[in-house]
A and B are shown apart, each in its own frame.
Chain A
């Protein structure tokens, strides 16, 4: 029995297997946001439809739900009813804001007309807002507390429960 071979082999094997085991089941596209706990990047963007410029600072003092989405994204369709319904019921305490991610304004307007328009959706300039928020796909939703700090980020379509849990964090 060659002890050296056994020892080196087992160390390498064990390390490799443990790492691969931990890797199982994780989503390789997922990115933890380093922005959580920090002040949300500020912006003032034009809203679709009205053309009004909306500054994020306007909502300071109120928790904000910032949702990046597009009409070409199926999961965004799924969560749209949840978002609009919640926005309608708690709209006086929480501000919902949508940001268009790589899409045409006309398609967004058509979509909102057809499926419900409960809060402003803003047009991003050259994707810079998405980049500043570290968006890696849509839908992606950020939760801001009253002071404008990011307290949570959610990737993918939200169920009403997901929305509720994260809203609670923002409203604390």
Chain B
């Protein structure tokens, strides 16, 4: 009897608490992505897709309170909040581009760990490729150059030694020269 009473009282109490909780946030409204990047342009994600995509995007957003870590990698509360928000936006159907531009709007390009391919940033993407191209040209020019180089003075010793000597030993080379009687 008294037990049942207790249960009923508890349930009533719970109901009251929930009622208050529901009432409470009335009027509370946080800044929303819609204010800045408009309506969602993609399809809402759920389940594993949502988790995977959240992780992907989180790996490309910089945690502003940390030291250069991505929000995916940082245990800080800020990063956790940002991850939460990424997840929520994806669940509402926002696209990756929209989410990036939402964060970029408040933090600038600082927040993007993968630089955008635009303006002066293009250089960071293009320079290594140019360097590769230039390097290939230089290496091939060098090889050609070295192939045409005159035979070295001690050519006799060099060419007498078999092309393939796995053991790289300058002392051996000296022995060879001594044996061949070439003291140059």
Contacts and interface: CB of A to CB of B under 8 A. Distances in A.
B85 interface: yes
A132 B64 contact: no
Interface string B75-90: 0011001101100000
Given A102-B78, A128-B81, A41 B64 contact: no
A132 B77 contact: no
Interface in B90-133: 103-108, 110
Contacts of A133: 31, 106
Interface stretch (B21-29, B40-48, B141-149, B152-160): B21-29
Interface residues of B, number: 25
Interface in A118-153: 124-137
B35 interface: yes
Nearest to A39: B35
Nearest to B30: A128
Given A41-B36, A43-B31, A53 B26 contact: yes
A19 B31 CA distance: 38
B65 interface: yes
B73 to A, nearest CB: 17
B29 A136 contact: no
Contacts, number: 79
A102 B30 contact: no
Interface stretch (A26-34, A89-97, A159-167): A26-34
A53 B30 CA distance: 11
Contacts of A42: 29, 31, 35
A137 B85 contact: no
Contacts of A32: 108
A112 interface: no
A109 interface: no
A136 B35 CA distance: 21
Contacts of B103: 131
B64 A137 contact: yes
A130 B79 CA distance: 12
B29 A44 contact: yes
Given A31-B110, A134-B107, A127 B28 contact: no
Nearest to B77: A102
B81 A131 contact: yes
B27 A31 contact: no
A41 B108 contact: no
A45 interface: yes
Given A42-B35, A127-B78, A136 B107 contact: yes
A126 to B, nearest CB: 5
8 contacts: A41-B31, A43-B30, A45-B30, A53-B26, A53-B27, A128-B81, A129-B30, A134-B108
Given A34-B106, A127-B77, 7 more contacts: A31-B107, A33-B106, A34-B108, A42-B29, A45-B28, A53-B28, A126-B30
